[in-house]
Structure 1
Amino acid sequence: MLMLIIIVAILLVAIVTTLAFLYSRQEKMIFLSEKLDKSHVFNFPGEYEERIYRPEEGIDIHGLLFRVPEPKGIVFYFHGHMGSIASWGQWASLFQDHGWDVFMWDYRGYGKSTGVISQERSLHDDAKFLYERISPEYKEKRTIFYGRSLGTGIASKLAVDHIPEKLILSTPYFNFEDVVSHQHPLLPVSMLLKYKFRNDLYLKEVKCPVHLLHGTEDDFVPYESSVMLQEIGDHIELTTVPGASHSDFAIFPEFKLKMEELLK
Structure 2
Amino acid sequence: MKKLLPLILLTFLYGCSSFFYFPTKYFYADPKQHNVAYDDIDFKSTDGTDLHGWFMYDKSYEKDKKKKKKGLILFFHGNAQNITSHWLNLGWMVKDGYDIFIFDYRGYGLSKGQANQQGLNKDSIAALNWAHAKSKEYPKFIVYAQSLGGTVSMRAMKDIDFKSDIDLYVLDSTFSSYQDIAFDKLKNAGVFVALSPLAYILVSDEYGPYKNLDQFKMPILMIHGNKDVVVPYKFGEEIYKKLKTEKKWWWTVEDGSHTDVFHPKHLQYRAKFLDFLEKI
User: Shorter-chain TM-score: which interval?
Assistant: 0.7 to 0.9
Normalised to the residue count of structure 1, the TM-score between the two structures is 0.83
Task: Say if 2:144 and 2:169, in contact at 8 Å, map to a contact too.
Answer: yes
Assess, with a 3 A threshold, how the Cα gap between structure 1 residues 247 and 229 changes in structure 2: closer, same or farther: closer
Deviates more, 1:220-229 or 1:144-153: 220-229
What is the deviation of 1:147?
0.4
Assess, with a 3 A threshold, how the Cα gap between structure 1 residues 223 and 255 changes in structure 2: closer, same or farther: farther
Note the alpha carbon deviations across 1:97-137, whole angstroms, 9 max, x for none.
3311100001111111111023x122121121232234323
Secondary structure (helix, strand or coil) at the match of 1:261 reads: helix
Task: Say if 2:179 and 2:204, in contact at 8 Å, map to a contact too.
Answer: no
Tell me which residue corresponds to 1:260.
274
Partners of 2:179 and 2:171 lie apart in 1 by 18
Secondary structure (helix, strand or coil) at the match of 2:90 reads: helix
Matched letter for residue 193 of structure 1 = V
For the pair shown, the structure with the greater C-alpha radius of gyration is 1
Partners of 2:36 and 2:8 lie apart in 1 by 49
Partners of 1:97 and 1:212 lie apart in 2 by 24
Select which of 130, 135, 142 maps to 2:132. Answer: 135
Secondary structure (helix, strand or coil) at the match of 1:217 reads: coil
CA RMSD of aligned residues (A): 2.6
Tell me which residue corresponds to 1:200.
210
Partners of 1:203 and 1:219 lie apart in 2 by 23
Normalised to the residue count of structure 2, the TM-score between the two structures is 0.79
Matched letter for residue 99 of structure 2 = D
Matched letter for residue 182 of structure 1 = D
Aligned positions of 1:73-222 closer than 5 A: 73-118=71-116, 120-141=117-138, 142-160=140-158, 161=160, 162-163=162-163, 164-185=166-187, 186=193, 187=196, 188-195=198-205, 197-222=207-232
Matched letter for residue 244 of structure 1 = G
Partners of 1:155 and 1:262 lie apart in 2 by 22
Q: Percent identity?
A: 21
What is the deviation of 1:19?
5.9
User: Where does the alignment leave 5 or more consecutive residues of structure 2 unmatched?
Assistant: 62-67, 188-192
Partners of 1:92 and 1:170 lie apart in 2 by 12
Task: Say if 1:36 and 1:110, in contact at 8 Å, map to a contact too.
Answer: no
Partners of 1:227 and 1:58 lie apart in 2 by 36
Secondary structure (helix, strand or coil) at the match of 2:111 reads: coil
What is the deviation of 1:207?
1.2
Tell me which residue corresponds to 1:235.
247
Note the alpha carbon deviations across 1:16-39, whole angstroms, 9 max, x for none.
x556512443212321111148xx
Partners of 1:263 and 1:29 lie apart in 2 by 35
Tell me which residue corresponds to 1:46.
36
Matched, 1:248 2:260: yes
Aligned positions of 1:64-75 closer than 5 A: 64-68=54-58, 69=61, 70-75=68-73
Tell me which residue corresponds to 1:63.
53
What is the deviation of 1:196?
5.3
Tell me which residue corresponds to 1:223.
233
Task: Say if 1:67 and 1:100, in contact at 8 Å, map to a contact too.
Answer: yes
Tell me which residue corresponds to 2:65.
none
Assess, with a 3 A threshold, how the Cα gap between structure 1 residues 56 and 125 changes in structure 2: closer, same or farther: closer
Task: Say if 1:145 and 1:159, in contact at 8 Å, map to a contact too.
Answer: no
Task: Say if 2:12 and 2:18, in contact at 8 Å, map to a contact too.
Answer: no
Secondary structure (helix, strand or coil) at the match of 2:50 reads: strand
Partners of 2:277 and 2:92 lie apart in 1 by 9
What is the deviation of 1:208?
0.3
Matched letter for residue 200 of structure 2 = S
Matched letter for residue 260 of structure 1 = L
